[in-house]
C-alpha cells in the first residue's frame, strides 16, 4: 500500500476515529486504527465493539492496500509531523513507513484482515436533523446521565421519534432533562436508548453547522449517525426506559418565571466561591417577586436577589 495525503487531512481523520479506540482491551487489534485504501478512497476506522467510527480523508492512492496501526503510536507520530505532505507505505510483512519532509518513521502494523469491521446497518428510513440542533440537544441533556453502571439505563439517553417530533430524555436519579424537537418530516414511531458515551463523542466531532444535516438510521440493535464524511455506529442499550410521565407531576406548589440569562449569570458568580470537588449547595429562597440565591463555602459567602414572576407558595 502507498498513499499520499496532507498532514492536516490525516490528523483530522485520526482525531475523529480515535474517539472509538478503547482505553483497555484484551484484543490488541482493537487498539489499532485501520487504514483502508483497498478501493478508490481512503478510510480510517476504529472500533471498540460498542462504538465504531469511520471517516474518509482526501488523498492520493498510489498503491491499494490495507493496514492496522497502533492508534496511540500512529496518532502521536501524525501530530508531531511537519505541516506538509505525508507518505504512508506498507509491505507484505506489515512494516509501515511514514515519511514527511525529512522525518521518516518505521513501525510494524497488523493485518487489516484481522480488524473488526463495523457491522452492516441497513439504511432504509433516515431521520434528518441539523448538526447544530443535535449538538445543542446533547449539550442540554448529557449532564444528567449517570456516570456509573449501577443502572445501565441511566447511562444512556432516550431517543423517541413520533411522527415529526423527537424527544430526548436523560436522568441520573436526581435530575431529569427533556428536550423536544420538531422535525421537518414525519417518521414511524421509534424508541431507543443511546449510550451516553456515544453522544459525548459525537458532540466532540460534530462541526455543528446549522445548514448541514446529520442522518440517523435506527435498527433493532444499533444506531448510526452519518454526517460529512463520517459514520458513527453504536450499539443500543437494551431494556425498557423509565416512564417519565409518571415521574413528572402536573401538581405543583410553586411556579416561577425567570430570565434565563440573569439566572445563569447569577449562578456563575456564585460558583466563584466553590472549589472543584466541593459540593456546597446554592440555597434558593423564593418570596412574592424575588428569588434570593445564597452560598457559603470555605472561601467566603455570596447572596444575590433576582426579580421573578411567581405563582403559588413561597
Q: What is the pLDDT of residue 271?
A: 86
* Cell digits of residue 67: 493496514
The DSSP string of 81-108 is S-SSEEEEEE-TT-EEEEEETTEEEEEE
- The total number of residues shown for the chain amounts to 314
**C-alpha triplet 280, 284, 287: angle, nearest 5°:** 165
Whose CA is closest to 113, among 1, 232, 226? 1
Residue 28 has pLDDT above 80, yes or no: yes
The Cα 136–Cα 119 span in angstroms is 28
pTM above 0.75, yes or no: yes
Name which CATH class applies to 252-312: alpha beta
Mean pLDDT score, 164-179: 94
CATH topology of domain 2-114: DNA Polymerase III; Chain A, domain 2 (3.10.150)
pLDDT digits (tens, 9 = 90+) for 44-75: 999 999 999 999 999 999 999 999 999 999 99
| Structure confidence at residue 91 (pLDDT) | 96
Residue 194 bridge partners (DSSP)? 157
CATH class of segment(s) 127-246: alpha beta
C-alpha distances (whole Å) from 230 to each of 12, 43, 223, 225 are: 11, 9, 14, 8
For residue 260, give the C-alpha cell. 434565563
127-246 and 252-312 in the same fold: yes
Supply the pLDDT for residue 248.
77
d(CA 68, CA 87): 16
| Mean of all residue pLDDT scores within the chain | 93
pLDDT the model gives residue 249: 67
Residue 52 in 3-state DSSP? Answer: strand
Please give the grid coordinates belonging to residue 251: 401538581
- Mean pLDDT, range 202-212, rounded to an integer: 93
Q: What is the rounded CA–CA span in Å between residue 178 and residue 117? A: 34
Instruction: Give the integer Cα–Cα distance in Å for 225 and 214.
Output: 7
Domain residue limits, the chain? 2-114, 127-246, 252-312
| H helix or E strand, kind and range, residue 48 | none
pLDDT of residue 83: 97
* pLDDT tens per residue across span 275-293: 876 777 889 999 888 999 9
pLDDT of residue 168: 97
Q: What's the CA gap between 294 and 131, in Å, rounded? A: 38
| 22-26, 94-98, 139-143: range with lowest mean pLDDT | 22-26
- Cβ neighbors of 102 (< 8 A, separation 6 or more) are none
* Of 106, 54, 50, residue with least CA distance to 234: 50
Amino acid at each position: 500500500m502507498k498513499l499520499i495525503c496532507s498532514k492536516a487531512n490525516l490528523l483530522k481523520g485520526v482525531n475523529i476515529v480515535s474517539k472509538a479506540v478503547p482505553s483497555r482491551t484484551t484484543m490488541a487489534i482493537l487498539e489499532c486504527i485501520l487504514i483502508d485504501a483497498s478501493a478508490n478512497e481512503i478510510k480510517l476506522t476504529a472500533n471498540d465493539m460498542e462504538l465504531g467510527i469511520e471517516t474518509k480523508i482526501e488523498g492520493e492512492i498510489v498503491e491499494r492496500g490495507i493496514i492496522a496501526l497502533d492508534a496511540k503510536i500512529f496518532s502521536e507520530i501524525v501530530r508531531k509531523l511537519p505541516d506538509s505532505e505525508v507518505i504512508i507505505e506498507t509491505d507484505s510483512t506489515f512494516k509501515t513507513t511514514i515519511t514527511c519532509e525529512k522525518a521518516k518513521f518505521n513501525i510494524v502494523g497488523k493485518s487489516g484482515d484481522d480488524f473488526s469491521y463495523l457491522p452492516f446497518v441497513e439504511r432504509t428510513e433516515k431521520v434528518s436533523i441539523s448538526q447544530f440542533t443535535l449538538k445543542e440537544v446533547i449539550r442540554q441533556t448529557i449532564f444528567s446521565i449517570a456516570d456509573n453502571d449501577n443502572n445501565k439505563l441511566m447511562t444512556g439517553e432516550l431517543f423517541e421519534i413520533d411522527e415529526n417530533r423527537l424527544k430526548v430524555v436523560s436522568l441520573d436519579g436526581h435530575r431529569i432533562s427533556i428536550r423536544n424537537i420538531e422535525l421537518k418530516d414525519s417518521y414511524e414511531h421509534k424508541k431507543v436508548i443511546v449510550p451516553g458515551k456515544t453522544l459525548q463523542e459525537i458532540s466532540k466531532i460534530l462541526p455543528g453547522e446549522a445548514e448541514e444535516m446529520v442522518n440517523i438510521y435506527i435498527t433493532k440493535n444499533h444506531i448510526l449517525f452519518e454526517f460529512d464524511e463520517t459514520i458513527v455506529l453504536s450499539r443500543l442499550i437494551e431494556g425498557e426506559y423509565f416512564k417519565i410521565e409518571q415521574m413528572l407531576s402536573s401538581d405543583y406548589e410553586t411556579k416561577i418565571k425567570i430570565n434565563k440569562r440573569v439566572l445563569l449569570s447569577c449562578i456563575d458568580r456564585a460558583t466563584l466561591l466553590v472549589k472543584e470537588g466541593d459540593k456546597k449547595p446554592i440555597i434558593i429562597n423564593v418570596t412574592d417577586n424575588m428569588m434570593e440565591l445564597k452560598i457559603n463555602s470555605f472561601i467566603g459567602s455570596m447572596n444575590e436577589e433576582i426579580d421573578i414572576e411567581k405563582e403559588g407558595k413561597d
